[in-house]
A and B are shown apart, each in its own frame.
Chain A
Amino acid sequence: MAARPPLTRRTDYDRERTVEYEVVRLEPASAQSRAAWIFLAPALGLIAIFFLVPVAASLVLSLTDFDIYAVASLHNARFVGLGNYVRLFHDPIFWKALGNTFYFALVGGPLTVAVSLGAALLLDAKMVRWKGFFRTIYFAPFVTTLVAVAIVWKYLYHPQYGLLNWALAKVGVHPIDWLGDPHWAMPAIIVMAVWKNFGYNMLIFVAALQSVPEELYEAAELDGAGPVARFWHITLPMLGPALAFVGVVTMIGYFQLFAEPYVMTAGGPLRATTSVVLYMYEEGFRWWRMGFAASIAFVLFVIIAGATLVQRRFGAGAGEHA
Chain B
Amino acid sequence: MMSSLSRRVLLYTALIAGALVAVFPLLWMLSASFMATGEASTYPPHLIPRAPTIAHYRDLFTRLNLGRALFNSALIALVVTALSVLINSMAGYALAKLRFRHRARVYRSLGIGLILPAQVAMLPLFLLMKELHLVNSYWGVIIPGLASIFGILLTYQYALAIPDDLLDAARVDGASELQLYRLVVLPVIAPILATLAIWTFLATWNDFMWPLIILSDDRKYTLPVAIANLVGEHVQDAELMMAGSVVTVLPVMLVFLFLQRYYIRGITAGAVK
Q: Spell out A's residues near B (CB within 8 Å).
A: 1, 28-29, 31-37, 39-40, 42-47, 49-55, 57-58, 61, 71, 119, 122-123, 125, 127-128, 134, 136-141, 143-149, 151-156, 158, 160-161, 163, 166, 195, 199-200, 203-204, 207, 242, 245-246, 255-256, 258-259, 262-263, 277, 280-281, 284-285, 290, 293-294, 297-298, 300-301, 304-305, 308
Interface size on B, residues (CB 8 A): 92
Which B residues touch A305, using CB under 8 A?
Answer: 115-116
Compute how far the CA of A33 lies from the CA of B231 in the bound complex, rounded to whole angstroms: 53
Which B residues, 16 to 53, have Cβ-Cβ distances below 8 Å to chain A? Answer: 18-19, 21-23, 25-26, 28-29, 32, 40-45
A140 and B22 within 8 A (CB): yes
Which B residues, 166 to 186, have Cβ-Cβ distances below 8 Å to chain A? Answer: 171, 177-178, 181
B102 to chain A, nearest CB (A): 9
A46 to chain B, nearest CB (A): 4
> Known contacts A119-B18, A145-B223: does B93 contact A39 (CB below 8 Å)?
yes
User: What are 27 A-B pairs with beta-carbon distances under 8 A?
Assistant: A33-B101, A36-B94, A39-B177, A42-B146, A44-B147, A54-B123, A55-B121, A61-B123, A71-B127, A122-B11, A134-B18, A140-B26, A144-B26, A144-B253, A145-B248, A147-B228, A149-B26, A151-B242, A156-B25, A160-B43, A166-B43, A204-B268, A245-B271, A280-B123, A285-B126, A300-B119, A308-B114
Which A residues touch B113, using CB under 8 A?
Answer: 47, 51-52
A128 and B177 within 8 A (CB): no
B14 and A122 within 8 A (CB): yes
Tally inter-chain residue pairs, CB-CB below 8 A.
Answer: 273
B190 within 8 A of A: no
Other than A39-B93, A166-B44, A300-B117, give 16 A-B pairs with Cβ distance below 8 A. A40-B91, A43-B152, A44-B106, A58-B124, A122-B11, A134-B15, A140-B26, A141-B26, A143-B252, A145-B206, A149-B249, A151-B227, A152-B25, A195-B21, A204-B271, A304-B117
A229 to chain B, nearest CB (A): 13
Partner of B90, one of A42, A58, A134, A153: A42
Of all chain A residues, the one with the shortest Cβ separation from B247 is A148
Q: Spell out B's residues near A (CB within 8 Å).
A: 4, 7-8, 11-12, 14-15, 18-19, 21-23, 25-26, 28-29, 32, 40-45, 87-88, 90-91, 93-95, 98-101, 103, 106, 113-128, 130, 143-144, 146-147, 149, 152, 171, 177-178, 181, 202, 205-206, 208-209, 213, 223-225, 227-228, 231, 238, 241-242, 244-245, 248-249, 252-253, 256-257, 260, 263-264, 267-268, 271
Smallest CB-CB A-B distances: 8 pairs: A35-B177, A43-B91, A57-B124, A39-B94, A46-B147, A54-B121, A36-B98, A148-B245
B209 and A46 within 8 A (CB): no
Which A residues touch B227, using CB under 8 A?
Answer: 147-148, 151
Compute how far the CA of A104 lies from the CA of B120 in the bound complex, rounded to whole angstroms: 19
> Known contacts A35-B98, A50-B144, A263-B228: does B15 contact A122 (CB below 8 Å)?
yes
